[in-house]
């Protein structure tokens, strides 16, 4: 399914006023993007990316993968919780 959003003021895309979304994903940003199953008029509303810094520290994922401290679930969140216990048993700055 294609949705087209028209009459938008799009952050960092000067001159562009349309967004095309296909199957829930952004497909194009520009002008005259063609036909869509649904057209939504944004009436000049400002469109910008969310104020979220969506990143992970994957180095924490394997923290605690030893006999003393065990990340049973293997999740990032458990590894973060285990970080303080891990630091008590290891000198992270040893060379």
What digits encode the pLDDT tens for the residues 14-65? 999 999 999 999 999 999 999 999 999 999 999 998 777 766 665 555 555 5
pTM of the model: 0.55
Sign of CA dihedral 50, 52, 58, 59: positive
Burial zone of 72 (CB within 10 Å; 0-12 exposed, 13-18 middle, 19+ buried)? exposed
Q: Which part of the chain has CATH 2.30.40.10?
A: 2-47
Q: How confident is the model at residue 89 (pLDDT cuts 50, 70, 90)?
A: low
Helix intervals (H) in the chain: 76-89
CATH T-level assignment (fold) for domain 2-47: Urease, subunit C; domain 1 (2.30.40)
pLDDT interval class at 81 (50, 70, 90):
confident
């Amino acid at each position: 399914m294609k949705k087209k959003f028209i009459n938008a003021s799009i952050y960092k895309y000067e001159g562009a006023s349309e967004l095309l979304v296909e199957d829930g994903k952004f497909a194009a940003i520009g002008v005259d993007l063609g036909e869509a199953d649904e057209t939504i008029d944004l009436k000049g509303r400002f469109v910008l990316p969310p104020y979220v810094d969506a990143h992970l520290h994957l180095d924490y994922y394997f923290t605690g993968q030893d006999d003393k401290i065990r990340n049973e679930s293997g999740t990032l969140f458990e590894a973060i919780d285990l970080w303080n216990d891990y630091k008590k048993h290891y000198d992270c700055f040893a060379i």
